[in-house]
Amino acid sequence: MRDAIVVGSSAGGVRALRGLLHGLPKDLAASVVVVNHIPARGKSDLPLLLASAGPLAAKAVEDGESMKHGAIYVAPADRHVVIEKGRLRLTRGPRENRVRPCIDTLFRSAAVDLGPRVIGVVLSGTLDDGTAGLWAVKDRGGVAMVQQPSEAEYPDMPESAIEHVRVDHVLPVADMGAKLAALASEPTPPGVPPPPAMAAETQIDLHGRALDKGVLDLGRPSPNTCPACHGALVEIREGNLARYRCHTGHAFSLRTLLEETEVAIERSLWNTVRVIEERSFLLRSMERQARDKGNHELGRRLAAAAERDETHAQGVREMTGKPAGAG
């Protein structure tokens, strides 16, 4: 039976999740595990919101608990959910796609542990978390389902999944519950051992020690470095997907790596503005001291140097795309 349903969502995802869960039967012969991107701080009310959406009980994942049919398990804040030997594990491993919990982390571990028993569902959200995980689900014989992009509040995640994965079903959320219930009763094809690289990534997600788990053997070296820790990155190819993972375990899709690079560039530019302006302040202070002592020639040279720095700082500010005085 296809008795493990893993669902990923982000921006606009709560409404989509409630719509999906509303259509599930109370006797669903499957477990449902949900990752929705939420802030790292504070307690999430998502289990309560999802429990009131339909007939199934919902709760936050507890480390080590087994998966029961007819129950909804929700990832808590600031923890990845990994499936290992049919149990739900919580880890605070390195962020993947800049988030924790991460959809790809859950989906990949489900694919490794449960193979063709898994149904992966990608709902509304920005960027592309869930795409690589859904690819893993399909690669291991599972079923891929995606929210109709035209219906999603934020269609990026559904569109990315459709672009890169051989998706089986593209549906509005109102139709997903009945379809998932039907799929859960279908027999599954025989499973095969997961690819070593996929299994290694799940071990990294679960236990850390990426170097010991062979992270550098997962792909070819990348000229980029990890924007989170500045460690070496390897490029991982799966179908037409390119992903990146560093030797400490941080992982990025191509789009999230680009986003992080843009953030790093802006941070570097603002640091440059700060250093130039600090030098300008020092030069202005030295200018005042020189003029107070009657050394006007030195004061003139110091003022000219300060003006050059101020011009350079303004030029760097303009590179950030923000006017002077903007934060």
Annotated catalytic sites, by residue? 10, 37, 129
Alpha-carbon dihedral sign for residues 194, 197, 201, 207:
positive
Tell me the C-alpha distance between 99 and 92, whole Å.
11
Q: How large is the C-alpha radius of gyration of the chain?
A: 25
Angle at 147 between CA 146 and CA 150, to 5 degrees: 130
Backbone φ and ψ for 204, nearest 5 degrees, come out as: -65, -45
H/E segment holding residue 166: none
Tell me the C-alpha distance between 76 and 40, whole Å.
9
* Alpha helices by DSSP H, 89-172: 103-114, 131-139, 156-164
Beta bridge partners of 244: 235, 252
Contacts of range 230-235, beta carbons closer than 8 Å, 24 or more positions apart: none
Tell me the C-alpha distance between 146 and 166, whole Å.
11
Angle at 9 between CA 7 and CA 12, to 5 degrees: 140
